[in-house]
């Protein structure tokens, strides 16, 4: 049936419209490849492929390089290829050459923005998958904030508030730890009953002693505070404090420079640290030597982070390098695309599949930990990103040299930006429950932002007042919880002082205790020597009798051997006489047989005479050997008799001497008893202060335990703790995991 004219016109019109639309589409085959062939394929074709990047075919170009994808369909700003040719991202391409023309740059950008079409007939490349960084429900320690029993003493306040160069947020409760000088201050960041009139209450402090504290984090299970400490060009270590009691549980590493990066793998009880040595060291908790030294970095190590599933360890350095290691074997796993400047922070997605890095090059990058390709990248802060962390709802919070704090979606789109701070941002943290973002700057301020709009919710103190003043303020405000916690500070300090005094007293007493132990060993040695000598004297008569009997047996055996020797000598003499007679006969027979006229029977007789002479020689030799053997046996018997007689004489002499030796040993044993008695008395006297300290320790521990039992609202969670405990699936007031 013939087609209707109007239908044919419609089809032609549709085709014309499609052709017109396609004419404006930028494709790889028609537009981009000619540009690449002219300027890029000398280094990036199938034969050379520098950096594992082959741009000669569409499939190869979309596959990307060793650093991941270079073209992100629909996202030119997030595509390394666009940044490289536009000279907004290193390495600039083409290298050591002018940029492409503006028209060529516009073509490449339009191609990526249009979905990276292969040809005019093709469909746009699949967009990149949605990136999810949201945290899964936390299985870490959930505990009643009121049960915290951290040290309360802080260093005297300084004229100017110290800069909080490091911040860390607890994964399940609204605790924020910050570095303030050479101490770590732990704040309850929630406003409400726990904060009371003080708001954002200081709930404890850890003193760093003579060490600076360079890095800080909570373990992922929330049971530990981990700090990289040290002093520049002098020493470095990682210190780990426990929650909720605040005791230092371990100190790892004996570095010659400060530990700039640290993290703990609670699954395998390992600590990783890095710093100016350019080496990442991994220690078993409590070990003095590392189980591994990871040596791929070419500059100071600035960040380390174990993945949440403890499958991988990430490390980064001042040159921008990022490496992944297998956490179990610590073997190299991947080298990720490097940043152009110092890496300032690393953080993992909840499932451990994505690693987020931030750098002084101003960019935040999301890496796929499975194959290493760059999933997303965006310019976050002009001048550099100085701090970064993931929020519980899967956003990225960052701070930079532009003095701003910002929150980003994982696709790089901005969620919200805060008002600029007074100075460069140096650290950021996101509190549990997605309530707040906390940021610190170089002016010494620590600002609490509402997560929703980054409006300022308050501040945290880096320069707290002395304990007595804080206690008076809490009493005046009627804040029973804060007052209880602060009053526990002196009790805890008294307990800790008593423990240290006990350790000191034991150390002072140790020489006396050691002398007492040495005296006891000397007395035991004297007892053993006296007992051995007495036993030897009792055994000597039997030994002498045995030696005498053996000597008599040897003499009897010698007499028998002497008789045999005489018989052998007589036999040898007889054999000698017989041989001489046979020799004379054989000589005469040989002479007679030598006559040519001799009877043949005479020659036969001569032969037999020679044979008889040979037999006589053999008999004589046998007799001679028998005599020699008997003579040797007689000599052996004489030697044995002499030895046995000497042994018997020695036993007799020993028997005569032993009584005096036993008497001397008895005197030595008596002296040892007296020395031990004196040393034991001296040790007991030296230990008396330690015994008194033990009583003081017991009393101090009892007083502190009674104070803790008497806390206000014991068994109930209030304020910020309630939501955190419930979120973790634990009943209110449940104690922390051991």
Is 100's pLDDT higher than 60? yes
**Phi first, then psi: what are they for 341, rounded to 5°?**
-155, -175
Confidence tier at 305 by pLDDT (50, 70, 90): very high
Q: Could you report the per-residue pLDDT of 46-75, keeping only the tens digit for each? A: 888 887 788 999 988 888 876 567 888 888
**Phi first, then psi: what are they for 569, rounded to 5°?**
-65, -40
- Averaged over 408-427, what is the pLDDT? 96
Percent of the chain exceeding pLDDT 70 equals 88
Per-residue model confidence (pLDDT) at position 736: 32
* Least confident residue range of 106-110, 259-263, 623-627, 729-733: 729-733
Q: How far apart are CA 186 and CA 134, in angstroms?
A: 25
Of 143, 194, 169, give the one whose Cα is nearest residue 719.
194
Q: Could you report the per-residue pLDDT of 323-343, keeping only the tens digit for each? A: 999 999 999 999 999 999 999
Q: What is the mean pLDDT of the chain?
A: 85
**Phi first, then psi: what are they for 637, rounded to 5°?**
-65, -40
Confidence tier at 475 by pLDDT (50, 70, 90): confident
Q: Are 265 and 306 in contact (CB under 8 A)?
A: yes
Asked if the bond preceding 144 is cis, omega within 30° of 0, the reply is no
Is 77's pLDDT higher than 90? no
The CA distances from residue 89 to 78, 213, 688, in Å, are 10, 34, 72
Task: Look up residue 117 and give its DSSP letter.
Answer: B
Per-residue model confidence (pLDDT) at position 92: 86
pTM above 0.75, yes or no: no
- Averaged over 414-443, what is the pLDDT? 95
Is 132's pLDDT higher than 70? no
Per-residue model confidence (pLDDT) at position 12: 33
Per-residue model confidence (pLDDT) at position 138: 44
Of 173 and 121, more confident: 173
Q: Are 238 and 252 in contact (CB under 8 A)?
A: yes
Is 10 exposed, middle or buried, given 0-12, 13-18 or 19+ CB atoms closer than 10 A?
A: exposed
Q: How far apart are CA 253 and CA 290, in angstroms?
A: 8
Q: How far apart are CA 408 and CA 422, in angstroms?
A: 22
Q: Give the CB-side neighbour count of residue 449, counting CA atoms within 13 A.
A: 27
Q: Are 192 and 719 in contact (CB under 8 A)?
A: yes
Per-residue model confidence (pLDDT) at position 178: 96
The CA distances from residue 382 to 204, 359, 386, in Å, are 36, 11, 11
Of 318, 319, 323, give the one whose Cα is nearest residue 295.
323
Neighbours of 513 (CB within 10 A): 18
Is 738's pLDDT higher than 60? no
Is 728's pLDDT higher than 50? no
Per-residue model confidence (pLDDT) at position 627: 85
Q: Are 410 and 367 in contact (CB under 8 A)?
A: no
Long-range contacts at 633-640 (CB < 8 A, ≥ 24 apart)? 633/561, 633/564, 633/565, 634/558, 634/561, 634/562, 634/565, 637/554, 637/557, 637/558, 637/561, 638/558, 640/554
């Amino acid at each position: 049936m013939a087609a209707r004219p109007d239908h044919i016109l419609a089809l032609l019109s549709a085709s014309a419209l499609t052709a017109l639309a396609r004419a404006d589409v930028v494709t790889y085959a028609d537009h981009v490849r000619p540009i690449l062939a002219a300027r890029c394929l000398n280094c990036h074709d199938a034969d050379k492929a520098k950096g594992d990047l082959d741009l000669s075919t569409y499939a190869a170009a979309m596959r990307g390089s060793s650093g991941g994808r270079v073209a992100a369909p629909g996202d030119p700003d997030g595509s390394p290829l666009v940044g490289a040719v536009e000279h907004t991202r290193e390495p600039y391409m083409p290298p050591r050459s002018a940029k492409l023309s503006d028209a060529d740059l516009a073509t490449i950008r339009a191609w990526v923005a249009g979905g990276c079409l292969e040809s005019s007939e093709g469909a746009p490349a699949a967009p990149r998958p949605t990136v999810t960084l949201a945290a899964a429900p936390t299985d870490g320690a959930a505990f009643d904030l009121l049960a915290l029993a951290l040290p309360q003493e802080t260093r005297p306040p300084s004229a100017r508030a110290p800069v909080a160069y490091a911040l860390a947020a607890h994964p399940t409760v609204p605790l924020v730890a910050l570095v303030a000088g050479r101490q770590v201050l732990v704040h309850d960041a929630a406003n409400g009953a726990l904060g009371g009139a003080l708001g954002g209450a200081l709930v404890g402090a850890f003193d760093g002693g003579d060490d600076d504290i360079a890095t800080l984090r909570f373990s992922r299970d929330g049971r530990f505070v981990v700090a990289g400490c040290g002093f520049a060009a002098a020493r470095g270590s990682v210190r780990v404090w426990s929650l909720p009691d605040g005791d230092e549980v371990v100190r790892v590493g004996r570095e010659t420079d400060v530990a700039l990066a640290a993290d703990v793998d609670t699954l395998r009880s390992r600590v990783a640290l890095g710093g100016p040595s350019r080496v990442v060291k991994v220690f078993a908790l409590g070990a003095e030597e590392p189980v591994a030294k990871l040596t791929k970095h070419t500059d100071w190590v600035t960040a380390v982070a174990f993945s949440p599933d403890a499958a991988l360890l990430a490390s980064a350095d001042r040159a921008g390098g990022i490496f992944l290691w297998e956490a179990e074997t610590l073997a190299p796993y991947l080298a990720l695309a490097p940043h152009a400047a110092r890496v300032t922070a690393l953080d993992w997605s909840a499932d451990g599949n994505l690693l987020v890095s931030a750098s002084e090059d101003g960019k935040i990058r999301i890496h796929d930990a499975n194959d290493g390709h760059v999933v997303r990248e965006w310019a976050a802060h002009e001048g550099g990103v100085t701090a970064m962390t993931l929020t519980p709802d899967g956003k990225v919070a960052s701070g930079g040299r532009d003095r701003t704090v910002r929150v980003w979606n994982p696709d790089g789109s901005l969620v919200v930006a805060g008002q600029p701070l007074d100075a460069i941002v140096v650290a950021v943290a996101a509190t549990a429950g997605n309530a707040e973002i906390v940021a610190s700057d170089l002016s010494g301020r620590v600002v609490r932002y509402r997560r929703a709009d980054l409006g300022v919710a308050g501040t945290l103190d880096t320069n707290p007042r002395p304990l007595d003043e804080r206690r008076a303020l809490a009493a005046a405000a009627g804040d029973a919880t804060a007052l209880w916690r602060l009053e526990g500070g002196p009790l805890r300090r008294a307990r800790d002082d008593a423990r240290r005094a006990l350790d000191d007293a034991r150390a002072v007493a140790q020489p006396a205790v050691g002398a007492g132990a040495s005296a006891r060993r000397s007395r035991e040695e004297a007892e053993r020597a006296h007992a051995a000598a007495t036993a030897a004297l009792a055994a000597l008569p039997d030994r002498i009798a045995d030696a005498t009997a053996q000597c008599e047996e040897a003499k009897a055996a010698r007499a028998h051997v002497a008789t045999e020797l005489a018989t052998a000598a007589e036999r040898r003499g007889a054999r000698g006489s017989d041989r001489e007679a046979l020799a004379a006969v054989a000589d005469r027979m040989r002479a007679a047989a030598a006559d040519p006229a001799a009877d043949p029977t005479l020659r036969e007789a001569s032969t037999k005479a020679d044979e008889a002479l040979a037999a006589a020689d053999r008999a004589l030799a046998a007799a001679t050997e028998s005599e020699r053997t008997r003579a040797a046996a007689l000599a052996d018997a004489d030697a044995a008799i002499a030895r046995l007689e000497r042994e018997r004489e020695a036993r007799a002499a020993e028997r005569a001497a032993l009584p005096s030796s036993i008497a001397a040993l008895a005197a030595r044993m008596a002296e040892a008893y007296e020395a031990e008695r004196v040393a034991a008395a001296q040790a007991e006297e030296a230990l008396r202060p330690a015994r008194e300290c033990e009583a003081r320790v017991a009393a101090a521990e009892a007083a502190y335990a009674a104070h803790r039992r008497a806390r206000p609202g014991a068994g109930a969670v209030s304020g910020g703790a309630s939501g955190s405990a419930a979120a973790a699936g634990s009943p209110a007031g449940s104690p922390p995991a051991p």
